[in-house]
Amino acid sequence: MKNIDATGHVTGKSVYLDDIPEQKGTLHAVVLGAAVAHGKITKLDFTEALSSPGVEYIFTADDIPGENQIGGIFPDEPLFAEKEVHYQGQPIALIVAKDEFTARKARKLIKAEYEEYSAVVDPREAKEKGLLLFPPRTFHSGDVEKAWENCDYIFKGRADTAGQEHLYIETQGAYVYPLENNNLMVHSSTQGPTAVQKTIALVLGLPMHRIEVNVTRLGGGFGGKEDQATPWACMAALAAYKIHRPVKLILQRPDDMLMTGKRHPYSSDFKIGLSKDLKILAFETVYYQNGGAAADLSPPIMGRSLFHATNSYYIPNVKATGYSCKTNLPPFTAFRGFGAPQAVFVMEAAITLAAEKLDVPARIIQEKNLIKENDTFHYGQKAKRVNAGKSWQEMMKDYGIEKLAKEIYDFNAAHETVKKGLAIMPICFGISFTKTAMNQARALVHIYQDGSVGVSTGAIEMGQGVNTKLLQVAAQCFSISPGRVKLETTNTTRVANTSPTAASSGADLNGKALLNACDDLVKRLKQSAARMLNTKPDDIELRDEKIYLANTETDITWEKLVEYTFLERISLSAVGHYATPVIHFDRTREKGHPFAYHVYGTAALTVRLDCLRGRYTFEKVQIVHDFGNSLNQVIDLGQIEGGLAQGIGWMTLEELKFDEKGVLLSNSLSTYKIPDIYAVPETVQCKSLVTEGPELAILRSKAVGEPPFLYGIGAYFALRNAIRAFNPKADLKFEAPLTPEKVLLALYGDDET
């Protein structure tokens, strides 16, 4: 089954926010952001801007009829800054004009002045000053303090990862118009339509039922639109509500890069203890998460870091602590992996440090410590249907990795200025929102009189192919041709109270809810078929658009049955609900069973480094991945390739930089390098681990959205190995990204000096 959006995407016919036909009288808006990262607003003069032709209105906090508050978890973030600003680009006002160009010109005419305060941009400095967004959190297992005494080797280190721009191709935006009685229709490029609806209601002081949010699809989200699509929709809604006109607000790329949050930079300390036979006995880590100026999604992101502190290893004694530090940077937010990649980098750094000090390949330590069936994760969940070892062994065997390692060793001995590096990257990712209550979904299914089917769920299509998977679920359940099923837009009036499409669980949660609705309808259809054929529903089967009685084809078709059922006055519509069973978590003890299941896999990454220029190419990445029983192998492979490329970019190219005053330096695509066709591996091989797949995954097809991002982390370690093959004394910090510039310096640097 092809992705149903494939033709639309390649012909440019798919509809995104900016393609929605504009209503007559539509106005356009741009946002005025703070020029400084920290300070008091001393002057804000709109006189000249307002008098320029075509400018309709300029909105500030004073115009808000409800609350000036958009914080989703903690109420710590205003929609518009009032007296003080806390990061560069923080929204202060919204300029609304007859077209975007006019609004943009007027923005330049606003006179804003600030009394600048000193800015904090470093999370460790923030922690020293007591600037925390919320109290720290610690996960424990075993007894780390005692365990150190039994360790033969103990190593300590520090690991740092930078932030990351989402760079969804479609920037943030919303288009809002008033309906009858000044109710609002909101088109938003959001992963969380209910969050948008709820926050607009709060800002405007209206009940949620007056706000309808509709989403056709996103041109990418990657977590950047889980929480941070909301402010732009609120601003457009405020303007539309106040002046009764349609208002469109779409951020241009530089505004998007300046004003929105990104992946959290982390700075971390670690301590690892091993026995003589290289078993990891104890691991202790402290994460300093750079949270930016408001909490946003930092609490659950820190949570997911703590859950993934040990990656795919079993360690009996663990202590992991997370500080979420308040800085004068934009509030950092969800990004594919949601805090897990930062933690996994620290774990891999610790193993690598131990391996280098003990002069053994890291893969020896990695393999010895992989989590096994019935081991307990440090948060109390018993590991079941573990595929860590299985994917590792299959990868080593099927791709001949020991032979590859030998070839690389020989290659390096034979070549002076070109070196190769190999890294093995095992992954383990827990599936479910870590907040148990969020693991629920609903679906609405209509079978029309002609036998065609309309499906609405809370899932947002953002390129990951969730609509195609949901369509497959409905078609399979009814046993009809996929062509009879249509995926409707995601709309809060049709499906309410949705969780965001995130945590890789969009297909699982919405698919299960959809399956429940379809099963309900199948039951009704079987009952009416039984009446038609004078038999029991249990003898009826729907198969390939035909009705079978006791395994024998009848002359009743899907269409006939639908028509008959309608004439019998039986409802052909159903609502399905799903809530993940089994999962629970106790926040006071930090123990429980938070995940429906885990996704495992192993990758081998080979890099070739030009030691004269510091340039490198990833030759091949060889993966064995745990898809369960994949619903759609082409889509799932696309997720592997995309996640991997995004992870490699984070580790090697993308250097998010702010200066000491909190000013964004990497503020455009000329100063922020993203992966291109030359940055992706020359070859990506991906094999599917043959497993039955867990019951809690949709039709046993495991979630695949975020986990493969983690494979990219191996890029840092492969590159590190290549550098050390050239210069064993290289001054190499565990600091990502390892950009070509840093690689070149390391090739000729010396850690003794």
Copy the structure tokens of residue 727: 């210069």
Rounded-to-integer distance, Cα 715 and Cα 748, Å = 20
CB of 573 vs ligand MOS, minimal distance in Å: 30
Beta carbons of 273 and 147 less than 8 angstroms apart = yes
CA 227 – CA 458 distance, rounded (Å)? 16
Q: Is 395 helix (H, G, I), strand (E, B) or coil?
A: helix
Q: Choose one: 351-359, 381-389, 501-509, 743-751; the region binding ligand MTE (CB under 6 A).
A: 501-509
Q: What letters, b where the CB count within 10 A reaches 16 and e where it falls short, cover 66-80?
A: bebebbbbeebbbbb
Residue 505 engages ligand MTE in binding (rule: CB under 6 A): yes
| Cα angle for residues 139, 142, 148 (degrees, 5° grid) | 105
Nearest distance from C-beta of residue 305 to ligand MOS, angstroms: 13
Near ligand MTE by CB under 6 A: residue from 91, 163, 220, 292: 220
Q: Which residues within the stretch 435-474 sit at the binding site for ligand MTE (CB under 6 A)?
A: 462-464, 466
Amino acid making up residue 350: A
In the list 264, 336, 378, 625, the residue contacting ligand MTE (rule: CB under 6 A) is 336
Q: Tokens in use for 675?
A: 């992966």
Quote the least distance from Cβ 458 to ligand MTE, whole Å.
11
For ligand MTE, which residue of 706, 716, 717, 742 counts as binding (CB under 6 A)?
Answer: 706
With the C-alpha atoms ordered 249, 255, 260, 262, is the resulting torsion angle positive or negative?
Answer: positive
Tell the smallest beta-carbon distance from residue 336 to ligand MTE (Å): 4
Closest to ligand MOS by CB, 259 vs 502, is 502
Taking the C-alpha atoms of residue 144 and residue 71, their distance in angstroms, rounded to an integer, is 36
Determine which residue in the list 30, 70, 280, 502 makes contact with ligand MTE, applying CB under 6 A. Answer: 502
Taking the complex as a whole, how short is the minimal distance between the CB of residue 143 and ligand MTE, in angstroms? 35
State the DSSP H helix or E strand holding residue 321, giving kind and residue range, or none if neither.
Answer: strand 317-326
> For residue 536, what are the contacts with CB-CB under 8 A and spacing of at least 6?
530
Query: Residue 295 or 438: which CB sits closer to ligand LUZ?
Result: 438
Task: Please say whether the beta carbons of 608 and 418 come within 8 A.
Answer: yes
As measured in angstroms, the least distance from the Cβ of 156 to ligand LUZ is 30
Does 326 bind ligand MOS (CB under 6 A)? Our answer is no
Q: Distance (Å, rounded) from C-alpha 590 to C-alpha 568?
A: 54
To the nearest 10°, the Cα dihedral for 486, 489, 490, 492? -110
Report what 300 binds from ligand LUZ, ligand MTE, ligand MOS, none; CB cut-off 5-8 Å by kind.
Answer: ligand LUZ
- From candidates 271, 304, 336, 593, binder to ligand MOS by CB under 6 A: 336
Q: Is 712 in the site for ligand MTE (CB under 6 A)?
A: no
Does residue 504 interact with ligand MTE by CB under 6 A?
yes
* Residues between 356 and 415 with contacts to ligand MTE, criterion CB under 6 A: none
Among ligand MTE, ligand LUZ, ligand MOS, none, the one that 463 touches (CB under a kind-dependent 5 to 8 A) is ligand MTE
Residues 503-522 that bind ligand MOS (CB under 6 A): 503
- The verdict on 323 binding ligand MOS (CB under 6 A) reads no
| Residue number with CB closer to ligand MOS (511 or 614) | 511
Q: Which of 706, 735, 741, 752 is catalytic?
A: 706
Q: How many residues does the structure list for the chain?
A: 753
- CA–CA distance, 708 with 312 (Å, rounded to integer): 14
Which residues contact ligand LUZ by CB under 6 A?
300, 304, 334, 338, 433-435, 438, 502-503
Nearest distance in Å: CB 508, ligand MTE: 7
Least distance (Å) between residue 514 CB and ligand MTE: 13
Quote helix, strand, coil % in the chain, to nearest 5: 35, 30, 40
Question: Which residues 287-306 are close enough to bind ligand MOS by CB under 6 A?
Answer: none
Out of ligand MTE, ligand LUZ, ligand MOS, none, what residue 443 binds, judged by CB under 5 to 8 A for its kind, is none
CA–CA–CA angle 400, 404, 409 (5° rounding): 155
262 touches ligand MTE by CB under 6 A = no
DSSP string, 684-698: EEEEE------TTSG
State in angstroms the smallest separation of the CB of 289 from ligand MTE: 18
**372 CB neighbour count, 10 Å cutoff:** 11
Side-chain-side CA neighbours of 383 within 13 Å: the count stands at 24
Our answer to whether residue 735 is catalytic in this structure is no
Instruction: Measure the CA angle with vertex 583, ends 577 and 585; round to 5°.
Output: 130
- At 716, which amino acid appears? Y
Sign of torsion over alpha carbons 678, 679, 683, 688: negative
In this complex, which beta carbon is closest to ligand LUZ, that of residue 335 or of residue 558?
Answer: 335
Structure tokens of 196? Answer: 């948008």
Which residue number, 33 or 643, has a Cβ lying nearer to ligand LUZ? 643
| Cβ closest to ligand LUZ, residue 223 vs residue 714 | 223
Using rule CB under 6 A, residue 506 touches ligand MTE:
yes
639 contributes a contact to ligand MTE by CB under 6 A: yes
Binding site for ligand MOS (CB under 6 A): 191, 221, 223, 226, 334-336, 338, 502-503, 706
Q: Which residues are catalytic?
A: 706
